[in-house]
């Protein structure tokens, strides 16, 4: 009897992508997404957190890794030559890290992005991830759109918004996304992000202590971030030279509302609203994502999806005493 063979469809080569900071929380998920979609992906990273997240792609002939610092202009100039798309993810991320390393924050979050933009040709697409924390400390009652003036209150927000401004006001085309607070599992996990942090505390402590529990924020799943960037690449000509809020319209939630949603999946979770004490993170806003939705993009993952996957991931990590190595 003749053997039957199953042939996998070979996806066409969609082009060459450079991701700086590709070994990070966002980058390691984006890398896998773009490889699966048929892109050649090069990640430039200095592995400052000793992360091993990109090892899972080493078998893929479409993947390449370059060890180096995004501030090395000679290296950057060489690396970008044959790339069709540039995604600058390398950054000092978050208020605490930027406050501890203000010079690094400015050099990496601002100047390195400016250098990438300077060295690239006008034909090379650049898609930049800003943060919607640039909307700052507002009432949490009025929707922020892309036309709402940015009022970043942290050095992190200021550096990211400055880089976005330089790109959008430059002479070359660019596209930027203003990311809501990202959640979900990544090969390079971050547990300091609000949803990820709350779920971990719920699992470990069976209690959540909330400071300024009425403060609101918007959220987006990490895999929808990757999907949105691919959508931006495919629709670059119609979307370019504008910023786009990237979040879930049904997830403009206060800390208390987020905690109550997590409680549905963690029976017995105790939620305590602290009567005194303040959160150093003063962000308080809700966001409209209509501009991006009008381009045809639709998120595929809900906040509930993220909570469920985080619970599974934390059970694996905590049972194996791997939490400290994430």
- Asked if residue 156 has pLDDT above 80, the reply is yes
State how many domains the chain has.
1
Residue 194 lies in a domain: no
* CA distance readout (Å), 103 to 76, 107, 159, 238: 20, 6, 11, 36
DSSP-assigned letter for residue 268: T
Q: What is the pTM of this model?
A: 0.92
Distance between alpha carbon 240 and the CA centroid of its chain, in Å?
19
Rounded to an integer, what distance in angstroms lies between the CA atom of residue 229 and that of residue 247? 13
Query: How big is the chain, counted in residues?
Result: 326
**DSSP H stretches of helix in the chain:** 25-37, 73-79, 95-100, 102-106, 112-119, 155-168, 194-205, 222-234, 236-239, 255-263, 290-293, 303-319
The answer to whether 87 and 18 have CB atoms below 8 angstroms apart is yes
In a domain, 139, yes or no: yes
Whether residue 323 is predicted with pLDDT greater than 60 in this model: the reply is no
Q: Does residue 76 belong to any structural domain of this protein? A: yes
d(CA 20, CA 171): 22
Q: Does the structure show a pLDDT above 90 at 276?
A: no
In a domain, 259, yes or no: no
> Mean pLDDT across the stretch 17-43?
97
Is residue 79 domain-resident? Answer: yes
- Residue 153: what pLDDT? 86
Binning pLDDT at 50, 70 and 90, where does residue 199 land?
very high
Residue 195 lies in a domain: no
Task: Please check whether residue 44 is in contact with residue 90, taking contact to mean a CB–CB distance below 8 angstroms.
Answer: yes
- Is residue 146 in some structural domain? yes
CATH at residue 231: 3.40.50.720
Write the DSSP assignment of 32-72 as a string of letters. Answer: HHHHHHT-EEEEEE--TT---GGGGGTT-TTEEEEE--TT-
Residue range(s) defining the domain that contains residue 43? 16-185+218-250+287-301
Q: Is 3 within the bounds of a domain?
A: no
């Amino acid at each position: 009897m003749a053997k039957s063979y199953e042939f996998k469809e070979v996806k066409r080569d969609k082009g060459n992508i450079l991701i700086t900071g590709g070994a990070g929380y966002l980058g390691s998920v984006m890398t896998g997404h773009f490889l699966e979609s048929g892109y050649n992906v090069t990640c430039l990273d200095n592995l400052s957190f000793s992360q091993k997240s990109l090892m899972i792609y080493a078998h893929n002939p479409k993947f390449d890794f370059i060890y180096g610092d995004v501030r090395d202009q000679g290296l950057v100039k060489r690396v970008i030559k044959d790339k069709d798309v540039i995604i600058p993810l390398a950054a000092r991320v978050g208020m605490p890290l930027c406050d501890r390393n203000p010079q690094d924050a400015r050099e990496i979050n601002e100047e390195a992005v400016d250098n990438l933009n300077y060295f690239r040709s006008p034909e090379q697409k650049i898609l930049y991830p800003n943060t919607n924390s640039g909307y700052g400390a507002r009432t949490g009652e009025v929707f922020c759109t892309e036309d709402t003036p940015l009022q970043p209150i942290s050095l992190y927000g200021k550096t990211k918004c400055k880089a976005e401004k330089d790109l959008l006001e430059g002479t070359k085309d660019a596209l930027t996304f203003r990311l809501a607070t990202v959640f979900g599992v990544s090969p390079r996990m971050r547990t300091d992000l609000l949803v990820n942090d709350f779920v971990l505390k719920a699992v470990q402590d069976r209690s959540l202590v909330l400071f300024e529990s009425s403060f609101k924020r918007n959220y987006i799943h990490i895999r929808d971030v990757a999907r949105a960037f691919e959508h931006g690449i495919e629709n670059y000509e119609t979307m370019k030279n504008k910023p786009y809020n990237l979040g879930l319209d049904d997830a403009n939630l206060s800390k208390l509302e987020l905690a109550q949603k997590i409680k549905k999946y963690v029976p017995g979770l105790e939620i305590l609203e602290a009567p005194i004490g303040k959160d150093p993170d003063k962000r308080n806003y809700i966001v409209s994502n209509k501009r991006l939705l009008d381009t045809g993009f639709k998120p595929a993952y809900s906040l509930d999806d993220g909570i469920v996957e985080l619970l599974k991931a934390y059970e694996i990590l905590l049972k194996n005493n791997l939490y400290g190595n994430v």
